[in-house]
Amino acid sequence: MNTFFKADEPLQRVDGKMKVTGAAKYAAEYVLPDCRYAVLVTSSIAKGRIKSLDTKAASNAPGVIAVISYLNAIRPPGYAADNEHPTEPATGGQPHRVFYDNKVYFNGQPIAMVVADTFERATYAAHLVKAQYIVEEHLTDLNKNLDKGVLPASAKKNPKSPLADYDRGVVDGYKTAPVKLEMEYEHPAEMHNPMELQAIVAHWETDDKLTLYDKVQGTQPTQQNFAKEWKLPPENVKVIAPFVGGAFGNALHNWPHETAAIIAAKMIKKPVKLMLTREQMFFMVGYRPGTFQRIGIGANRDGKLVGISHFSIGQTSSYEEFTESVLQQTRMMYTAPNVSTRYRILPMDVSTPIWMRGPGEATGAFALESALDEIAYELNIDPLELRIINHTDQDPERNMPWSTKYLKECFKLGAEAIGWNKRPLKAGTLSDGPWKIGYGMAVGTFGANRRSAKVRAKLFANGSLLLQSAVTDIGPGTGTAMVGIATDAIGIPADQITFQLGNSEFPVAGNQGGSSTVNSVGSAVLAVCDVLKQKLLEMANQNMPEFKSATLEQVTFSNGGLQLKGGSAKTTIGDLMKKSGSADLDLIEEAKPGPEAAKYSKYSYSVHFVEVRVHSITGRIQVTKAVTCADAGKIINMKTAGNQMIGGVTGGIGMALTEDAVMDHRFGRYMTKDLADYHVPVHADVPHIEVRFVDKPDYIVDPMGTKGIGEIAIIGVAPAIANAIFNATGKRIRQLPITPDKLI
């Protein structure tokens, strides 16, 4: 039994029953009257032009209403105006403009779309569309073109950008150290494979009013994007996404298929449903970019790091500049006086990557935390000890204090739980018959982010509370966390609080991403509850003699009522409102980070410990134990927080051992593109995962004291496993995934 699963955990998932009984409705499940079905036809070349498109057979197939391509698609007005896509991705460049012209930018690009009366007929007819191409030479192989990397535009413009070249101390100072190592690490593209396929139902309610049932991580960012694309006032675009079946970053971007569905709906003047196939998920909706990294690391014999130089180059598309923060951990985690980081991207004839859980940092940590392990062996110092030796009590990158940092407590919790002190320092020491046994650990970190957010509260005369936010819940249990925060704050029982989300018409919230939802939206929940409490107190002051001069400090809010501290006077909220003749209360509050926060460096931390067994003859690998510890600030709900950590470690096992998007560069096409060939971990790959939280608040980040969990859950897992494999076998594998062939 996992220790974090407290039997008395007060709050179960508020939508758990809906999810397991099928009552939760996902994008593709919306049934609109008169809805039609669109299926995409995709390119089979990576670069070139469409010479001809034969749509005749498809057009004549039964049930087909339209075959849409660059030849006849209407152009979103946003396209036409300035000849480029109107929405600027956070990362630079411009999103792919679907059906804009005959150019092919990547293999698997949507080149046409069939709309029919049923999904099956659309699927069949899509297959009848035939394209002829003028093929151009494509570039898809990162490893053969490492010298062609470029600095991202944002870093060129702004030398202070975290993506810009960074030097602390002497450039390549590691070279002067008595002990130094230079290594290269790489991992392939990892494909987003949430359970729920990308899907959208697009409905033009009128000529200029658009409603989208869409799989997204942000209803309002999506609303903004499509309002720009279609030149509509934002309030004319409504985005609905109350349930999202996993996303992991995949739906932080609006993709070509969404515009395609909107185009189709506009053209046929009917609602259109479009769901990608699993195979299409591999081609056009983002992935963790394949990345090559080089590290030079140097230390003194006593373990003090002298320097680290870290170079990273990742793939991006030719039309959009995708960037991620790969090198942050290298700059801030350890005390080394000389640190240089260089971040490059390589535009290629592939689709645009997108952030995937632990974006950038999971990539960087693989190299950094492996390198630390490597030098620990070189120095004959325990890898955990090496991290303690180089622990920093303030941010060496920005010379600022940490808001909070309980990394050493994580070390202690994890080391105890896995029995780290019994681990032999020498690699290849432990075995059980043909199985080699090893232990490894690694650290992860991610910024404790917070954005401004608003929450609406409706307090009804019966004492029940409704909260609303535009935020989405991609799985962590946002509603559950928010209900938990509200019940703690205002004392209304959880079963009388409803948290509605996933609708762009609700108050402002950004994307669910970057481990920032609880920090941001939770703060707004707290703020709105504070105002409600003030209002209730005023009612009590005026209408109940016992409460006449009571202040907030003198009153407790619990069990759905107010009570004087140390006294017997009490009332339920319902009675109070009745007595006061109050109507339902309805208000919106905003919460945003204050100026104090800017004076600190704010991060969450994780430490992962694993035990692995490697079969010395057949190379089979089994992760047999995992202990994952986090300093994520105050934990709002142990159960959902624990679920996050377990999910992250599972994803990390995939990154380390199984996931491999293999491209055949002759075609520029992925060849592992279904769940039989692209291996995500299954139960047999995942051990019991023990979770430990420090559970200490950080009030600089936000008033609840939370710091964020989603990303740190995976960051550092892959190197912990690679390090354990080294400890077991003496084999250092620097190329993920680590499969049996690499260990025989």
Active site residues: 711
User: Does 687 interact with other proteins (rule: CB under 8 A)?
Assistant: no
Q: Which is nearer to other proteins, 425 or 671 (CB)?
A: 671
Amino acid at 289: P
User: Does 699 interact with other proteins (rule: CB under 8 A)?
Assistant: no
From residue 393, give the alpha-carbon distance in Å to each of 52, 397, 401, 442, 449: 64, 12, 7, 19, 20
From residue 247, give the alpha-carbon distance in Å to each of 14, 218, 412, 497: 20, 11, 33, 26
Q: Give the Cα separation of 316 and 145 in Å (integer).
A: 13
Q: List, in order, residues 6 or more apart from 427 with CB less than 8 Å away.
A: 377, 438, 726, 727, 728, 729, 730
User: Does 275 interact with other proteins (rule: CB under 8 A)?
Assistant: no
Q: Give the Cα separation of 310 and 500 in Å (integer).
A: 44
User: Does 432 interact with other proteins (rule: CB under 8 A)?
Assistant: no
Q: Which is nearer to other proteins, 279 or 495 (CB)?
A: 279
Q: By CB under 8 A, how many residues form the interface with other proteins? A: 36
User: Does 122 interact with other proteins (rule: CB under 8 A)?
Assistant: no
Q: Which is nearer to other proteins, 484 or 681 (CB)?
A: 681
Long-range contacts, 559-563 (Cβ 8 Å, 24+): 559/491, 559/493, 560/463, 560/491, 560/492, 560/493, 560/496, 561/463, 561/491, 562/536, 562/537
Residue 674 CB coordination number (10 Å): 12
Q: How far is the CB of 622 from other proteins (least distance, A)?
A: 7
Helix 717-729 and helix 361-379: axis angle, to 10°? 30
User: Does 294 interact with other proteins (rule: CB under 8 A)?
Assistant: no
Span near other proteins by CB under 8 A; candidates 49-57, 321-329, 414-422, 618-626: 618-626
Q: Give the Cα separation of 406 and 586 in Å (integer).
A: 40
Q: Which of 77, 434, 567, 594 binds other proteins (CB under 8 A)?
A: 434
Q: Which is nearer to other proteins, 524 or 717 (CB)?
A: 717
Q: How far is the CB of 654 from other proteins (least distance, A)?
A: 9
Q: Which is nearer to other proteins, 125 or 537 (CB)?
A: 125
Q: Which of 59, 543, 622, 624 binds other proteins (CB under 8 A)?
A: 622
Q: List, in order, residues 6 or more apart from 279 with CB less than 8 Å away.
A: 673, 674
Span near other proteins by CB under 8 A; candidates 117-125, 226-234, 287-295, 504-512: 117-125
Helix (H) / strand (E) element for 530: namely helix 523-543
Q: Give the Cα separation of 281 and 680 in Å (integer).
A: 14
For residue 583, give the nearest of 535, 642, 526, 632 by alpha carbon: 535
Structural contact between residues 561 and 573, judged by C-beta atoms closer than 8 angstroms: yes
Q: How far is the CB of 669 from other proteins (least distance, A)?
A: 7
Residue with tokens 């373990």: 303
Span near other proteins by CB under 8 A; candidates 47-55, 330-338, 595-603, 733-741: 733-741
Q: How far is the CB of 720 from other proteins (least distance, A)?
A: 18
User: Does 44 interact with other proteins (rule: CB under 8 A)?
Assistant: yes
User: Does 741 interact with other proteins (rule: CB under 8 A)?
Assistant: yes
Q: Which is nearer to other proteins, 169 or 687 (CB)?
A: 687
Helix 717-729 and helix 638-653: axis angle, to 10°? 50
Structural contact between residues 731 and 381, judged by C-beta atoms closer than 8 angstroms: no
Span near other proteins by CB under 8 A; candidates 120-128, 359-367, 373-381, 533-541: 120-128
Task: Tell me, residue by residue from 378 to 417, as one string, x for binding to other proteins by CB under 8 A and - for no binding.
Answer: ----------------------------------------
Q: Which is nearer to other proteins, 191 or 379 (CB)?
A: 191
Q: Which is nearer to other proteins, 234 or 687 (CB)?
A: 687
- Which residues are bridge partners to 735 per DSSP? 186
Q: Which is nearer to other proteins, 253 or 625 (CB)?
A: 625
User: Does 685 interact with other proteins (rule: CB under 8 A)?
Assistant: yes
Q: How far is the CB of 258 from other proteins (least distance, A)?
A: 24
Q: How far is the CB of 282 from other proteins (least distance, A)?
A: 11
- Greatest distance between any 2 Cα atoms in the chain: 85
User: Does 195 interact with other proteins (rule: CB under 8 A)?
Assistant: no
User: Does 740 interact with other proteins (rule: CB under 8 A)?
Assistant: yes
DSSP 3-state assignment of 1?
A: coil
From residue 635, give the alpha-carbon distance in Å to each of 442, 630, 652: 22, 10, 22
Radius of gyration for the alpha carbons in the chain, expressed in angstroms and rounded: 27
Q: List, in order, residues 6 or more apart from 143 with CB less than 8 Å away.
A: 186, 292
From residue 575, give the alpha-carbon distance in Å to each of 559, 571, 572: 13, 6, 5
User: Does 127 interact with other proteins (rule: CB under 8 A)?
Assistant: yes
Q: Which of 101, 120, 505, 586 binds other proteins (CB under 8 A)?
A: 120
Residue with tokens 């109107």: 86
User: Does 619 interact with other proteins (rule: CB under 8 A)?
Assistant: yes
Q: Which is nearer to other proteins, 282 or 603 (CB)?
A: 282
User: Does 3 interact with other proteins (rule: CB under 8 A)?
Assistant: no
Q: How far is the CB of 595 from other proteins (least distance, A)?
A: 50
**In the window 654-683, what residues touch other proteins (CB under 8 A)?**
657-658, 662, 664, 666-667, 669, 671-674, 676-677, 679, 681-683
User: Does 248 interact with other proteins (rule: CB under 8 A)?
Assistant: no
- Which residues are bridge partners to 606 per DSSP? 444, 630
User: Does 205 interact with other proteins (rule: CB under 8 A)?
Assistant: no
Q: How far is the CB of 658 from other proteins (least distance, A)?
A: 5
3-state secondary structure 151-192: CCHHHHHCCCCCCCCEEECCCCHHHHCCEEEEEEEEECCEEC
Q: Which is nearer to other proteins, 667 or 699 (CB)?
A: 667
Span near other proteins by CB under 8 A; candidates 333-341, 347-355, 570-578, 615-623: 615-623
Q: How far is the CB of 237 from other proteins (least distance, A)?
A: 34
> φ and ψ at 684, to 5 degrees?
-65, -15
Q: By 3-state DSSP, what share of the chain in percent is helix, strand and coil, each rounded to 5? A: 30, 25, 40
Residue with tokens 């952030």: 355
Q: Give the Cα separation of 252 and 357 in Å (integer).
A: 11
Q: How far is the CB of 372 from other proteins (least distance, A)?
A: 28
Structural contact between residues 620 and 740, judged by C-beta atoms closer than 8 angstroms: yes
User: Does 175 interact with other proteins (rule: CB under 8 A)?
Assistant: no
Q: Which is nearer to other proteins, 128 or 443 (CB)?
A: 128
Span near other proteins by CB under 8 A; candidates 116-124, 372-380, 382-390, 528-536: 116-124
Q: How far is the CB of 676 from other proteins (least distance, A)?
A: 7
User: Does 224 interact with other proteins (rule: CB under 8 A)?
Assistant: no
User: Does 99 interact with other proteins (rule: CB under 8 A)?
Assistant: no
Length of the chain: 744
Q: Which is nearer to other proteins, 132 or 618 (CB)?
A: 618
Residue with tokens 């970057």: 514
Q: How far is the CB of 678 from other proteins (least distance, A)?
A: 10
Q: Which of 161, 392, 431, 739 binds other proteins (CB under 8 A)?
A: 739
Assigned token pair, 545: 């003699």
Q: How far is the CB of 182 from other proteins (least distance, A)?
A: 27
Q: What do you get for the CA distance between the two ends of the chain, in Å? A: 35
User: Does 123 interact with other proteins (rule: CB under 8 A)?
Assistant: yes
User: Does 187 interact with other proteins (rule: CB under 8 A)?
Assistant: no
Return residues touching other proteins (CB under 8 A): 44, 120, 123-124, 127, 434, 615, 617-620, 622, 657-658, 662, 664, 666-667, 669, 671-674, 676-677, 679, 681-685, 737, 739-741, 744
